[in-house]
Structure 1
Amino acid sequence: MTHWFRSYWTEEDTWFHFEVDADGWVTRQVELQGPLEKPIAAASLAEWQAAQAAGTLADYEKVFGATAEVPVHEWDGYEPHDLIVKEFESVWLAARTACQAGARNRSTSGA
């Protein structure tokens, strides 16, 4: 069963929002950094795997970042705050839009 939660990492001043499958693997992940909660990642495991297979992983990660590489039951030191799917989807859509806009701005500015 899929579930959604968020957790705050103080040392990175970042809220992490996760969609996790029944086996504990992160299928989608959003990272919001700083007091303004700037989206810095909005990655999908399925997209990441497709980009890896296509040889475009570096390009994907530049725009969307990556998901956690180990299942959540292996994590230490996090405090999950449950979300409902609607809450996650709202954050997901906003972060995806921001990441894509940031990538477009970087490509038009030559960065």
Structure 2
Amino acid sequence: MTRWFRSHWAEEDTWFYFEVDADGQVELQEPLEKPVAAASLAEWEAAQQSGTLAEYEVTFGATEEVAVHEWDGHEPQDLTAGEFEAVWLTARATCRARARARSAHGA
């Protein structure tokens, strides 16, 4: 069963959005809600195996290494699939655009 939720990490003033089972994750940094990462564990593992992990992480970031059940202590707020998907799609588009801009500028 897939679960969608978000959790606030007060120390970093960062929202983490999770899709558990499908391994999607979006990390938004407040107050501007600028996507820091929009990484999928399955994609991350595939990039690691293919030797393209550095490129993947530059574009989409990395998944959190903290087990999802540990987030329960951070008062997770349940989301619907649609709420998660809207944030996920926006964050992925932002990450791709940022990567294209870096590439165009030779960075």
TM, length-normalised to structure 1:
0.89
Instruction: Give the Å deviation of 1:76.
Output: 6.7
Is 1:43 aligned to residue 51 of structure 2?
no
Amino acid at match of 1:37: E
Q: Which has the higher helix share?
A: 2
User: Aligned partners of 2:69, 2:88: CA distance in 1, in Å?
Assistant: 23
Instruction: Give the Å deviation of 1:34.
Output: 2.3
Structure 1 equivalent of residue 64 of structure 2: 68
TM, length-normalised to structure 2:
0.92
- CA RMSD, Structure 1 to Structure 2 (Å): 1.5
Once the two structures are aligned, what percentage of the paired residues are identical? Answer: 71
1:17-73, CA deviations, whole angstroms, 9 ceiling, x for partnerless residues? 00012xxxx701101112110011100111111101100001101110111224322
Is 1:16 aligned to residue 16 of structure 2?
yes
User: Aligned partners of 1:16, 1:70: CA distance in 2, in Å?
Assistant: 12
User: Aligned partners of 1:38, 1:75: CA distance in 2, in Å?
Assistant: 21
Extract unaligned runs of 5+ from structure 2: none
Residues 18 and 26, structure 2, Cα contact 8 Å, conserved in 1: yes
Amino acid at match of 1:65: G
User: Aligned partners of 1:19, 1:67: CA distance in 2, in Å?
Assistant: 11
Of 68-77 and 78-87, more deviation after overlay is shown by 68-77
Alignment of 1:1-111 (within 5 A): 1-21=1-21, 27-75=23-71, 77-111=73-107
* Number of residues of Structure 1 aligned to a counterpart in Structure 2: 107
